Amino acid sequence: MSFDGFVTGAVARQLDQTLNGAKIEKIYQPEADELLFHIHSRKNKYKLYLSSNSSHPRIHFIDDSSNNPTTPSGFCMLLRKHLQGGRIASIKQKDSERIIEISVDTLDELGFSVNKKLIIEIMGKHSNIILLNLNSNRIIDSIKRVSIDVSRYRQILPGQLYVYPPSQDKICAYTLTESELSAILQHRSTKMPKHLMNHIQGISPALSEEICYRAGASDDITAENLTVKDLAPVFQSLSKMQESGKITPVVYFNQDGVQDFHIFPISALQETMESKSFEDVSQAISYYYSHKASSNRVRQKSSDLERTVNTQLDKLYLKKQRLCDDILKAENADIYRLYGELLTANLHAIENGAEKATVLNYYDNQSLSIPLDPRFTISKNAQRYYKKYGKAKTAIREKNIQLEETDTDIQYLESVLTYIRNAISFEEIEEILQELIEGNYLKKRKKNEREKKKKPMPYSYISSDGFRISVGRNNKENDYLTLKLADRKDYWFHTKDIPGSHVIVFTEGKEITETAILEASALAAYYSKARQSENVPVDYTKIKFVKKPSGAKPGMVIFTDNHTIYVTPKDLNS
């Protein structure tokens, strides 16, 4: 990912040109490491998104709305206190570093003008968003606090003086002179692109490769043989990139999805991938992150929930394996009954205190050696074997019950996992989370008085021949659709023995058509674990043949009089 110093500079220039003098109206914190500013300028309203996520730190304009929590965090409240209502004085980049500084003029509690600065550090796992008092340069607070235990050089704590991250003796790309570049290259010990990246601020691997490519600089040239003729094209290539107005934001993608972006065309990517150009840098960044699965905000939101469900499933798989092993052992316990029976039949033929007894097994007329505990009489040994046999039989009954419950839990959580992976909105993730809490799979959250019970909103479709089709987004909606909303004459669809959504075709007094059956089946396969498969079996029957057993988990039903059809998964809107 190429969110380097040059991209940061382009973002800073765009924000400064657009937001200089604009008013910060609202501040939200959708996630622990994200902020959203609603900003009003004289001409337009803007949404500025800031992220300190270690995997995808960034700052840019966005168009979509975020799922903002009803109760703001402490840091969000602090930002509202210090910045909300203030006007943006300037937005600047620190040298050519991945650091953006937003200066804000605002008023304190007494009505006096004060200056604050919000610093956004876009530095991988060290990314942070820090609020400073501009006059004293002291930290008011940060989205991530860094104590002395984490960093001895630089603590990010309230009251501390703000210190920039170490520059690592790199030279600012914007002020670099030809003589400085010459000095850098004269001491080159690594390949040209890597050497540039190691000595100049804000240059990413992709950009350093591009600089050398445009300059026609051969990596075979040694430091001793480097001439002015070799140096000049490199400097000119770098100088052209420093011209702030000449940028062409572009996103690169292939069959696997978006792969990279930059404000300059990257020759190596142009040759191997497709590209999409944008009018400004924020559009390119927003497009890149919204289309990249690993950074998609809904995927980020669902990843923790998916991890939690997978952890519980792993435990259940292990429990099932152990139960099966225990049942297998218990089923082989008939030998204990035989031992007890043979010992009882030979009480007077065996001496007490022996460690084993060899007796005739009258079932097969073969000699059988039976282990004994010499501490007990033969009668007691026989009783102990009968007791072992009785425990084993009880264990089979109990463990079969546990196995059935475990299988039900596995089936349920596998269905939940499918809904998490197929979710496309924050609302869906939130409803799945609530379902798990109600099922005691997750701990209850603190009750929020403003939280209201949400009305089910299943996916809605219309078949090619006019039948209305609904698809459950989670198990609770499945129950709502199948048990409350659907009529007895409507049709129910579900993938055969595969976790997935309930799909209902509303007949509304008409006879269902083959087209409606095929399209509903394709939807049932699409909204299931088998989305990426072909020839997926789907069961369907009338609603009157679908029942929910007493005490069954959400979404779990039994059905009869069904037919099975094999289809390829398809979303009717695609």
pLDDT digits over 173-227, tens only? Answer: 998 888 888 888 777 667 778 888 888 998 988 888 888 888 876 555 554 555 6
Task: Determine the Cα–Cα distance for residues 182 and 410; give it in Å rounded to an integer.
Answer: 65
pLDDT score of 221 = 54
pLDDT score for 56: 87
What is the bridge-based pairing of β-strands 546-547 and 558-559? antiparallel
In this structure, are residues 503 and 471 in contact, taking their beta carbons and an 8 Å threshold? yes
Residue 295 has pLDDT above 70, yes or no: no
Q: What pLDDT score does 184 carry? A: 81
Residue 449: band (very low, low, confident or very high) from pLDDT cuts 50, 70, 90: very low
Say which CATH architecture domain 5-142 belongs to: Roll (2.30)
pLDDT over 70 at 326, yes or no: yes
C-alpha to C-alpha distances, 168 to 164, 199, 207, nearest whole angstrom: 11, 8, 19
Task: Enter the tokens of residue 468.
Answer: 């209305």
Q: Are strands 257-262 and 356-361 parallel, antiparallel or unpaired?
A: unpaired
Separation in Å, CA 138 to CA 44, 80, 108, 124, 135: 33, 18, 16, 24, 8
Per-residue pLDDT, averaged over 397-412, amounts to 91
Tell me the percentage of the chain whose pLDDT exceeds 70: 93
pTM of the predicted model, to two decimals? 0.64
Which residue type is seen at 545? F
Between helix 378-422 and helix 334-345 the angle, nearest 10°, is 170
Q: What is the mean pLDDT of residues 338-359?
A: 88
Say whether domain 178-291 belongs to CATH 1.10.8.
yes
Between CA 165 and CA 126 the distance in angstroms is: 10
The pairing of beta strand 138-142 with beta strand 250-254: unpaired
pLDDT at 229: 65
What pLDDT, on a 0 to 100 scale, did the predictor assign at position 511?
93
Rounded Cα distance, 471 and 555, in Å: 12
Asked if the model's pLDDT at residue 485 lies above 90, the reply is yes
pLDDT at 27 over 50: yes
Average pLDDT, the chain: 88
